[in-house]
Structure 1
Amino acid sequence: MEKTRMYADSVAAVPPPGPLPTDQPAPSDAASLNPACPVAAPSDAAPTGDTRPLLWHLGEMALAMLAGMLLLGGLWDAAGASLGLAGPLRRPDVAALVMATNMTVGMTVWMRYRAHHWRGVGEMAAAMYVPFLLLLVPWWVGLLDADALLLGGHLLMVPAMVLVALRHRHDPPVVVRRHPAVVALARRWPTGLAVLMTVDLWVEPRVFSPWTMLVLPGGYLVIGVARRTLRGPKVLATQLVGLGGWVALTVVAVTVDGQVAAWLVAFGWLAHAGWDLVHHRTGRVVPRAYAEWCGVLDAALAGTMILAILTTYA
């Protein structure tokens, strides 16, 4: 895998699309401590007046925060359901702080991966919490409703993030040492993403609508058209055959009722996991990272649907 330096304030530091980079050149003093641990090396690049690195950094933070909310939201729901805390977690003040926590976790992981100082990470975390904390008292005394609390917290968060980013825009990056286990997990990030996206469904399993099976072959066709990877011999024909198969399965599942339809839907998702495996091995049509993510997601969702069938029709 191509090696890349990690800079906290440089567009050139952005990893290329695809699997996340997992090894960086290490300074000699850090490498001597533990050669097996990859590190992100600091840079002596002089600050510039270009605003593009700042905008890129803010965009990265927004995506990391969104990822934190999407991935950790299911964990909170699952924990609340299993511990009987679903009601308290729905309170606007608790929900606001939980949301701030989810965003902070995502932001912290990414900022440390990008070799930012803990000082900057801590200030950016404060930018997540302080806006909500400032609005909690007005909400408690009845001056704000729940929508104003959540919307106001997000609106105040934007200038707070910008101020922190401006304050640390020229900070030199720090050496980030990574345990080999972290490196191994980073290489399998599509699998981890898919697993996190299905955590809540293992707690409250359900069978999806038969129409959701149309998304399975449709995703490959859309990506193939966008990437222009359907031009190989028999590639387009294979994708169209797959589309026809899942359309037929969907029609049958819609026609029948009850347990048979549920089993057909579960089978359709599980079969697409095999479809993903084949494309992951061949590297055709879609990126391997997408095929890995889709395969694990399809298999996990099929597993939750089978669990729902067994518990519902037992």
Structure 2
Amino acid sequence: MENTRMYADSLTAVPSPAPLPTDEPTPSAPTPTAAAPTAAAPASSRRRLLWHLGEMAVAMVAGMLLLGPLWELAGTALGVGDALARPEVAALVMATNMTVGMTVGMRYRAHRWHAVGEMAAAMYVPFLLLLVPFWAGLIDADALLLGGHLLMIPAMVLVALRHRHEASAPVRRHRVVAALAHHWPAGLALLLTVDMWVDPSVLSPWTMLVLPGGYLLIGVARRTLGGRGVLATQLAGLAIWVALTLVAVMAGGRTAAWLVAFGWLAHAGWDLAHRNGRVVPRGYAEFCVVLDVALAAVMVLAILTTDA
């Protein structure tokens, strides 16, 4: 309907005058601007990078723990232990152990071979560069090993940054490999005890206090001790292992050694009872089961191979 207005002295409706043209343009609706890029994508990229570097560090440590004792056994068997103990050889052996662990980890994560090769170079090149001043007498063995590890960190970061946007290579994992990866806490526990089989010994009785203490601390941190009877059960376990520790300390000798081995082995049953994840994560319980059994077996071996 046409816009109209009424005059006070007339009932006749007349059209309202049209607006006069002006030199100013009619304001138009604001044009929607593109949304500013959020920080979510860079933050996600940084998290992936840090996660990748963390995985590499764990794989390298696993390689050293697993292969280190094997080098010692091979050196003793072949009579080249003194040669392997030389600083420059020890540095390259350590780089090899880390490279093997890193290679397995990266290939499992479907990284391509050229990226694996560059990361392997990041393991060796720092030590190779420091061999020149070491042979010239400018640095000692400690500086060689420490400097190699320190230079390795930025080298790894540079390689990870270079390949952070690359797509993963297609990979098919065997079901056994997938199962082992799913139960990695158990594998980590085995790695931590590899070198103990070479030179078995009995742990101090006081180490048994760590067994129930770990469950209590994790339960407090996760706030999982509030269930019915949960806190009472954990405190009862603490009392049992504290009593066993005190008895072992007072007994001493082989009796104490057997009590310590029994305490660690018995705690494996405690771990199995906590695999439901109510108090501690399931992975932690699996880790403790394997670690407790392995350490108990090592201590039994040490007791049986030691003269009374």
**TM-score when normalising by structure 1:** 0.78
Q: CA deviation at 1:209?
A: 0.6
Report runs of 4+ in structure 1 exceeding 6 Å deviation.
46-49
Residues 231-281 of structure 1, C-alpha deviations (whole Å, 9 max, x = no match): 11111101101100110111111111211111111111111011111112x
Distance 1:220 1:304 in 2: 23
Distance 1:156 1:240 in 2: 47
Distance 1:62 1:228 in 2: 30
Q: Would the alpha carbon gap of residues 55 and 214 (structure 1) be closer, same or farther in structure 2, given more than 3 Å must change?
A: closer
The reply on whether 1:312 has 2:306 as its aligned counterpart is yes
Q: Which amino acid aligns with 1:139?
A: F
Higher relative contact order (Cα pairs below 8 Å, separated by 6+ residues): 1
**TM-score when normalising by structure 2:** 0.79
Tell me the equivalent position of 1:210: 205
The reply on whether 1:232 has 2:193 as its aligned counterpart is no
Distance 1:204 1:290 in 2: 26
Q: CA deviation at 1:141?
A: 3.1
Q: Would the alpha carbon gap of residues 249 and 78 (structure 1) be closer, same or farther in structure 2, given more than 3 Å must change?
A: farther
Aligned residue among 162, 187, 190 for 2:185 = 190
Tell me the equivalent position of 1:98: 93
Q: Which amino acid aligns with 2:146?
A: L
Distance 2:148 2:253 in 1: 45
In 1, are the aligned partners of 2:248 and 2:256 still within 8 Å (CA)? Answer: yes
Q: Which moved more, 1:109-118 or 1:73-82?
A: 73-82
Distance 2:284 2:187 in 1: 12
Distance 1:115 1:133 in 2: 28
Paired residues for 1:1-314 under 5 Å:
51-80=46-75, 85-280=80-275, 282-313=276-307
Q: Which amino acid aligns with 2:306?
A: T
Residues 30-86 of structure 1, C-alpha deviations (whole Å, 9 max, x = no match): xxxxxxxxxxxxxxxx99995454344334333433343344434444555565554
Q: Which moved more, 1:59-68 or 1:104-113?
A: 59-68
In 2, are the aligned partners of 1:74 and 1:197 still within 8 Å (CA)? Answer: no
Q: Which amino acid aligns with 2:272?
A: L
Q: CA deviation at 1:105?
A: 2.2
In 2, are the aligned partners of 1:138 and 1:144 still within 8 Å (CA)? Answer: yes
Distance 1:309 1:50 in 2: 52
In 1, are the aligned partners of 2:66 and 2:194 still within 8 Å (CA)? Answer: no
SS at match of 2:216: helix
Q: Which amino acid aligns with 2:208?
A: M
Q: Would the alpha carbon gap of residues 260 and 125 (structure 1) be closer, same or farther in structure 2, given more than 3 Å must change?
A: same
Distance 1:157 1:101 in 2: 13
Q: Which moved more, 1:190-199 or 1:123-132?
A: 190-199
- Structure 1 or 2, whichever has the larger Rg, is 2
Q: Which amino acid aligns with 1:297?
A: L
Residues 129-173 of structure 1, C-alpha deviations (whole Å, 9 max, x = no match): 011012113212322211221122123222322322232222221
Q: Which amino acid aligns with 2:292?
A: D
